[in-house]
Amino acid sequence: MHGEYKVPGGKLVVVDVEIDDGVLRHARVAGDFFLEPDEALDAVNGALEGAPADTDAAGLAVRIDAALPEGTVMYGLTSEGVGIAVRRAVAHATDWTDYDWQLIHDGPQSPALHMALDEVLTAEVAAGRRPPTLRVWEWAAPAVIIGSFQSLRNEVDAEGAARHGIEVVRRISGGGAMFVEPGNTITYSLSVPDALVQGLSFQDSYAYLDDWVLSALGDMGIRAWYQPLNDIATDQGKIAGAAQRRIVGPGGGPGAVLHHVTMSYDIDADKMLEVLRIGREKLSDKGTRSARKRVDPLRRQTGLPRETVIERMIESFDGRYGLSEGKVTDEELSRAEHLARTKFTAPEWTARVP
């Protein structure tokens, strides 16, 4: 069995391993990482030998750490990264380059239709009728997007939203509220087979699916990192938040993962504070400054137009994994439009947690 794992902010770890009578045998670790001294690699392979095949990544990391020679230096590699690569091998996980990725980047669409498209396209990937897809959003109207389990009244000031003409919609994934305005926000979705994240914990899957965009930002001169559980940050503050939803395949078979990210290109912090109930119990000058500091827009950090930032992100993805132009099919659009009307604009859904 063969497994690969790109350590977030680090290097590629490759593991080839066999299973014999329920234990790992003949494990061989390789990759473009740095490891000193040389005999440390033999120690890593030896630590995996005979380990129960169902040992989780953390348990494998403990075995590796105990076996490493004193003074071992790892660069671009972690013991847990090796453990994750082993788990991906045992789970027969796929790699990004195993797929023919499709790009969808259409014109502006309503917030409710975006929510519906996420659900429909990911279900199509789960059913095997659509290839893994990167969809870049364009917003037709300002909106607040609340997480699947958030309280509507606790998160949104209804009067403030109405005053600024801001629509409130609820997405199918968890996480926190997002304040978006056309031209100020960069949002994208990944709809991927769950085989791509096999062997990863829920937390590790966030880092794994965000890694490409960290590289894209780095190419634009921004040193960004993944901040557990679901944020992308720089030394200037948070610039993006991610959320996920698992969708089961037909008949309970292999499914798909929806991973979507909203990035702040620019922001009207005063308006955001009038619409979102962020720290309302601390509405002092200090509290307001703190809320504004939480998000540091890409416009200031890159000095690039929003369209150029998106273009470079797409180019980075294409350079790593390949990407072909695609589109939403007529049938997918029809289903999404139906969901937008019957679910994502329905009070029963938006206020399902009042």
Q: For 202-216, 273-287, 322-336, which range has the lowest pLDDT when averaged over its residues?
A: 273-287
196 preceded by a cis bond (ω within 30 of 0): no
pLDDT at position 37 over 50: yes
Domain of 193 in residue numbering reads as 96-350
Q: Do both 168 and 195 map to the same domain?
A: yes
pLDDT of residue 174: 95
d(CA 294, CA 317): 27
d(CA 43, CA 73): 13
pLDDT at position 280 over 60: no
Q: Do both 314 and 255 map to the same domain?
A: yes
H or E stretch at 257: strand 256-264
d(CA 224, CA 324): 27
Write out pLDDT tens, residues 219-277. Answer: 999 999 988 889 999 988 889 999 999 999 888 888 999 999 999 999 888 899 899 98
Q: How confident is the model at residue 286 (pLDDT cuts 50, 70, 90)?
A: very low
pLDDT at position 282 over 50: no
Q: Do both 295 and 183 map to the same domain?
A: yes
H or E stretch at 112: helix 111-126
Q: Do both 223 and 340 map to the same domain?
A: yes
CA-based nearest residue to 171, from 122, 123, 119: 119
Given 45, 60, 90, the domain boundary residue is: 90
Q: Do both 74 and 181 map to the same domain?
A: no
Q: How confident is the model at residue 291 (pLDDT cuts 50, 70, 90)?
A: low
Q: Do both 51 and 134 map to the same domain?
A: no
Per DSSP bridges, beta strands 185-193 and 133-136 are antiparallel
Which distant-in-sequence residues (6+ apart) come within 8 Å of 14 by Cβ?
2, 3, 4, 29, 30, 31, 85
Q: Do both 52 and 27 map to the same domain?
A: yes
Max CA pair span of the chain:
67
Given 90, 123, 143, the domain boundary residue is: 90
9 HSE (CA, 13 A, CB side)? 11
Q: Do both 259 and 291 map to the same domain?
A: yes
Q: Do both 39 and 58 map to the same domain?
A: yes
Helix axes 39-48 and 57-67, enclosed angle (nearest 10): 140
Q: How confident is the model at residue 8 (pLDDT cuts 50, 70, 90)?
A: confident
Looking at the 3D structure of the chain, how many domains does it have?
2
Q: Do both 107 and 81 map to the same domain?
A: no
Q: Report the pLDDT averaged over residues 181-203.
A: 95
Which distant-in-sequence residues (6+ apart) come within 8 Å of 162 by Cβ?
none
Query: Residue 44 sits in a domain of what CATH number?
Result: 3.30.390.50
Q: Do both 229 and 190 map to the same domain?
A: yes
Write out pLDDT tens, residues 23-33. Answer: 999 999 999 99
pLDDT of residue 295: 64
* Average pLDDT score, the chain: 93
Contact assessment for residue 290 and residue 65, using Cβ atoms and an 8 Å cutoff: no
Q: pTM of the entire structure?
A: 0.90
Q: Do both 85 and 108 map to the same domain?
A: no
Query: Residue 343 sits in a domain of what CATH number?
Result: 3.30.930.10
